Structure 1
Amino acid sequence: MATRAIGVDIGTTQVRAAEVEISGKGPGAGGRASLVKYASAQLPAGVVGEGEVLDTGALSAALKGLWSSAKMSGKQVVVGFGNQRTVLRELELPSMPLKDLRSSLPFQVSDLLPMPVDDALLDFYPTAETEEQGVKQLRGILVAANKNSVASTVAAVEDAGLRPVGVDIPSLALVRSLVYGEAEQQVVGIVDVGAHTTEVVVVQNGMPRFIRVIPSGGGEATTGIMAAMNMSMADAENLKYQNGINASGSPALEPAHEAAMQATRALVDGIRNTFVYYAGNNPGAPIDRVFIVGGGAHLPGFGQYLATACRLPVGFGDAFGRLNVSSKVAAQINGQQTVGAVAVGLGMTEATA
């Protein structure tokens, strides 16, 4: 029996939707996954900022337009949500049925949250069960999101005539779409560089072990170039991707190069420190390789710089590599293999439910 799910990824500059059909128990259990449709639409500046929906009407309009042009087959969607206020941390809790554990979260984790527990939506994603001196513990990822922020996102989606049937964090979606084949037997780092946030996920044998959200992304380089060159955001963005972090040789463009390099250096330091922290807490399980995705990952020179700083193999992730893709759909997704990773992973939610 085949099931379909439509993942909706709401970014700072774009909204993306991926309709995925799952047969059997999914591609990781001998089943199959097919990309039925994929579409994206630009978002005007100011609609979404730092993961928060700032203009519900504009986002709803963009979603309506995307659904009309892409002709998605349904209105039920799985929405991605995450911002700088979302808490993601590895945690061990007493082993119990997952339903009971989730209902007990407000009492078990209230002291760990930077917000009142009544203001938070809580979830727990189990990754392993351990036992010490006869006591079983469940290890997993605690997720705590601000209720009002989630409600604003859901309201915008519903105003577009869609029906959210699930909300998931981008980090878990990235694992579903990018970790397959040989990577399922390795320790893999995933780096998703957005406009103003960067998701870093460490995955061991197909299971997420560590998640961190760094509060900076590719947008900081653009802002720096704008100030250094006294130019518009659009011109700064074009110049950023034209020259990257490599020196152009032109004295007139040296301020732009310095600005882009400064922002990128700070971001790479944050990523490297995240990997160092993981390695210090997980001896004997070193990271084998790193996948980079997201619009900011395409900054010329970024991947090489990250590989040198971390001393790890770094390459682009391919969100469509494990999916069956028809020739018709293939023409629509050219160049979207990295930026579509979250939407595809959200669409694959049913495969791991």
Structure 2
Amino acid sequence: MGRQATGVDVGLRSARFLRGQYKGNTFQVKNFSVGTHGAGSLEQAWEATEVSFKPQAARVALTGRDVNIRYTRVPEVPDWQLRKLMRFEVEEVGDTAGASVASDFNLLPDVPEVEGEDIVLLAMAREPVMDAHLAGLASAGGSLDSFAPASLGLYNAWTHYGVVEDETVLLVNIGHENTDVAIVRGPDLLFARNLSGGSGLFDAAIAQRFGVGLEQAEQIKIQHATLMPGARYDNPNAEKASRCILGAAGQLTSLLQSAVLFCRSQIKVTSLKVDRVMLCGGGAGLAGLPEYLTKGMGMTVELFDPFRVVDASALSPEDADLLDEYKLESVVALGLATMGSAPEAYSVEVLPADLRRRREFLGGTIWLVASALLALCFLVYHGTDYAGRLDGTRATASRLNRQVRTASSTHMRTDELVAKGGENDKLKAIADDLHAIAGSGEQLARVMEALEGSLPRDFWVSEITSEFAFDSGLGVQRGAERPILRIEGRSREGADAPAVQYEGFVRALRARLPRMEIKETLSPTGAVFTIDLTAFGPPATTVPEVGEG
């Protein structure tokens, strides 16, 4: 069962908010809200929108001229190298656009016609348009999950709630100013894009022909216009309105045909052929549009209604009726909510740079800081403990030294000193222990100083322990246990070349601690490492020079 998420699709004519969660093989709608307006900007659209619930964990649709979706064919490279390639691509676009650009990418499913390469979908958006959405979302009491192209919401709605067969389908969401398209072969996405132009083309044609404003033209379109081939008209206005939108309908047909051609050129699959077209969005409700496009495009064109398999039983009767009335307009919002709720959904998550950095900090860097604080507390605790032990040992050593001086002054003869050899051995053992305890604290301090200057930024220390033990690999034999320090740590998920960073880290550690014996291991994945070291290993041996002759 997925988490609850909200799909948000705000345009200049209307705004849709749909909240729920993906459960089993369907989506359970918990809340739905829609608002209609005639705004001139995105900011005005948000100001005119009233949401009946708080849109938490919102996936917000991006469309129009401020969004750019590119397709790049790249060799099959590691993830870190792919991220660098995409970063260069985004920086180039940002320099050309002259504005801050946010982005995210994902690989398209494998295309059989393309061998030895991956096709990357790169989505980019101008940050000012996202700032407008963020301000509006905050005013509605909501919170952002991420931004995503509306065309990917359309794709997720189809793959989760459509009749997916072994065919190529062109999905079309016709808005007022823009049209979002996705081309799908079976369950696999081939192409997604937003196009300029939508049902506003029909309104503009009627407004010019009748000499009225756009709002009145829209009402004439709804009440009188039809594109049904061979339609009979009830009155002169119906015939006049229907004939004057034929040019706009031809523009829309050309727009969809050009999208298919552009898909072929982008993914380099020249043999691609579309079998069926599925329409949704407010513009798809124009009478006779599916039949007109069927004739113009030479293939079956139908309306896409995913809500036939969506569970809306949790809605109030009023909200359920509202959803049924605006079901064509709400397909993208449903797909975005599914994208945020279903773990397996295909997704890109576009975020402004500042917000992405904050989330990366909370998701990774803050844990490094917490680990460092934990290690510091560990060192303080054990340092205090060792200091107490050292003070006690020093007192014992002082007392024993007094005993030795008393014994030396009393027993002056050599044979008596020899007789006291057992006591001298005891003193030597105590002195060795004292040296080891004192050296353990110094060993710990030196290692912490070396870690501070050597640890890569993609690595962190999860645990440090020090104990009296033996390890033949470090030259400390059984029966002669000495303080051995163990460092356990991890590398950040997705770190660039963790094995190379680790090798450099170990070399730096050996250079900073030349007098210590070091034994290190790295897991096969490069995610976990362990380092054992001690300053109490056997002293380095020097081979004497052999003279000539």
- Could you say whether these structures have the same fold, taking a TM-score greater than 0.5 normalized by the shorter chain as the test? yes
Query: Which has the larger displacement, 186-195 or 316-325?
Result: 316-325
Q: Indicate yes or no: 2:328 matched with 1:318.
A: no
Once the 2 structures are TM-superposed, how far is the Cα of residue 249 of structure 1 from its aligned partner?
A: 6.7
Once the 2 structures are TM-superposed, how far is the Cα of residue 112 of structure 1 from its aligned partner?
A: 6.2
> Going by fraction, where is strand more abundant, 1 or 2?
1
Query: Which has the larger displacement, 76-85 or 305-314?
Result: 76-85
Q: Which amino acid aligns with 2:307?
A: F
Q: Structure 1 unaligned runs (5+)?
A: none
Once the 2 structures are TM-superposed, how far is the Cα of residue 76 of structure 1 from its aligned partner?
A: 2.7
Of 128, 150, 164, the match for 1:148: 128
Q: Indicate yes or no: 2:204 matched with 1:223.
A: yes
Q: Indicate yes or no: 2:79 matched with 1:85.
A: no
Once the 2 structures are TM-superposed, how far is the Cα of residue 136 of structure 1 from its aligned partner?
A: 4.8
Q: Which residue in 1 is equivalent to 2:227?
A: 245
Once the 2 structures are TM-superposed, how far is the Cα of residue 129 of structure 1 from its aligned partner?
A: 4.7
Query: Which has the larger displacement, 89-98 or 300-309?
Result: 89-98
Q: Which amino acid aligns with 2:164?
A: A
Distance 1:155 1:130 in 2: 40
Q: Which residue in 2 is equivalent to 1:12?
A: 12
Q: Indicate yes or no: 2:182 matched with 1:164.
A: no
Of 12, 23, 33, the match for 2:27: 33
Q: Which residue in 1 is equivalent to 2:101?
A: 120
Q: Deviations over 1:116-170 (max 9, x none)?
A: 486221221211357999x953213121111222222222212322111211110
Q: Please say if residues 69 and 123 of structure 2, whose CA atoms lie closer than 8 Å, have aligned partners that are also in contact.
A: yes
Q: Which amino acid aligns with 1:266?
A: Q
Secondary structure at the counterpart of residue 28 of structure 2: strand
- Using structure 1 for the length normalisation, give the TM-score: 0.83
114 and 307 in structure 1: CA distance in 2 versus 1, 3 angstrom threshold = farther
168 and 130 in structure 1: CA distance in 2 versus 1, 3 angstrom threshold = same
Once the 2 structures are TM-superposed, how far is the Cα of residue 43 of structure 1 from its aligned partner?
A: 2.5
Q: Indicate yes or no: 2:57 matched with 1:76.
A: yes
Distance 1:213 1:114 in 2: 22
Q: Please say if residues 90 and 101 of structure 2, whose CA atoms lie closer than 8 Å, have aligned partners that are also in contact.
A: no
Of 295, 303, 309, the match for 1:308: 295
Of 325, 335, 339, the match for 2:329: 339
Distance 1:206 1:274 in 2: 19
Once the 2 structures are TM-superposed, how far is the Cα of residue 276 of structure 1 from its aligned partner?
A: 4.1
Q: Which amino acid aligns with 1:157?
A: L
114 and 224 in structure 1: CA distance in 2 versus 1, 3 angstrom threshold = farther
Distance 1:45 1:117 in 2: 27
Once the 2 structures are TM-superposed, how far is the Cα of residue 332 of structure 1 from its aligned partner?
A: 3.8
Once the 2 structures are TM-superposed, how far is the Cα of residue 252 of structure 1 from its aligned partner?
A: 5.4
Secondary structure at the counterpart of residue 162 of structure 1: coil
Q: Indicate yes or no: 2:166 matched with 1:211.
A: no
Of 259, 277, 292, the match for 1:290: 277
Q: Which residue in 2 is equivalent to 1:262?
A: 247
Q: Please say if residues 5 and 58 of structure 2, whose CA atoms lie closer than 8 Å, have aligned partners that are also in contact.
A: yes
Distance 1:288 1:325 in 2: 31
Q: Please say if residues 221 and 240 of structure 1, whose CA atoms lie closer than 8 Å, have aligned partners that are also in contact.
A: yes
Q: Please say if residues 279 and 286 of structure 1, whose CA atoms lie closer than 8 Å, have aligned partners that are also in contact.
A: no
108 and 314 in structure 1: CA distance in 2 versus 1, 3 angstrom threshold = same
Q: Which runs of 4+ in 1 moved over 6 A?
A: 130-133
Q: Which amino acid aligns with 1:195?
A: H
Distance 2:214 2:221 in 1: 10
- Using structure 2 for the length normalisation, give the TM-score: 0.55
Distance 2:157 2:291 in 1: 23
The count of residues paired between Structure 1 and Structure 2 equals 333
Q: Please say if residues 151 and 194 of structure 2, whose CA atoms lie closer than 8 Å, have aligned partners that are also in contact.
A: no
Secondary structure at the counterpart of residue 224 of structure 1: helix
Q: Please say if residues 60 and 160 of structure 1, whose CA atoms lie closer than 8 Å, have aligned partners that are also in contact.
A: no
> Going by fraction, where is helix more abundant, 1 or 2?
2
Once the 2 structures are TM-superposed, how far is the Cα of residue 200 of structure 1 from its aligned partner?
A: 1.8
Distance 2:149 2:106 in 1: 11
252 and 205 in structure 1: CA distance in 2 versus 1, 3 angstrom threshold = closer
Q: Structure 2 unaligned runs (5+)?
A: 348-549
Q: Please say if residues 140 and 209 of structure 1, whose CA atoms lie closer than 8 Å, have aligned partners that are also in contact.
A: no
